[in-house]
């Protein structure tokens, strides 16, 4: 593939990745995950963004290796990766935390129900 075509493809991928990341950040602002369905949706979108990031990184690494200034290219790639991963980590950890708390609450309510049944049986 010619260098010009590779560069324009990388720009399109970078723009798409930035758009996906901004959308994820906008849709799931800090503290906005308040239901299991929302958390599951967030994790699904996180997976999509991570997949796009991996594809972008792979393509960009190949492109960087053909550049004269390899270090500068890899530095830009690392910065992009960090920016995207900051958003991905925040949304992912918030969603997983909510799901963990929901499972704990569900387990606790089941435990209380079984304890109540046990107390009723002991009274008889």
Residue 77 burial class via C-beta count within 10 angstroms: exposed 0-12, middle 13-18, buried 19 and up: middle
Give pLDDT, residue 115: 56
> At 33, phi and psi to the nearest 5?
-85, 110
Give pLDDT, residue 116: 59
Q: Is 37 helix (H, G, I), strand (E, B) or coil?
A: helix
Identify the weakest region by mean pLDDT among 8-22, 29-43, 59-73: 8-22
Q: What's the whole-number mean pLDDT along residues 43-71?
A: 90
């Amino acid at each position: 593939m010619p260098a010009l075509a590779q560069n324009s493809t990388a720009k399109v991928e970078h723009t798409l990745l930035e758009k996906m990341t901004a959308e994820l950040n906008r849709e799931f602002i800090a503290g906005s995950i308040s239901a299991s369905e929302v958390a599951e949706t967030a994790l699904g979108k996180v997976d999509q963004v991570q997949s796009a990031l991996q594809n972008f990184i792979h393509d960009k690494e190949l492109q960087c290796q053909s550049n004269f200034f390899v270090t500068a290219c890899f530095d830009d790639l690392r910065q992009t990766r960090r920016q995207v991963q900051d958003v991905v980590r925040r949304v992912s950890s918030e969603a997983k935390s909510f799901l963990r708390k929901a499972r704990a609450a569900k387990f606790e309510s089941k435990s209380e129900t079984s304890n109540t049944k046990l107390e009723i049986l002991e009274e008889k």
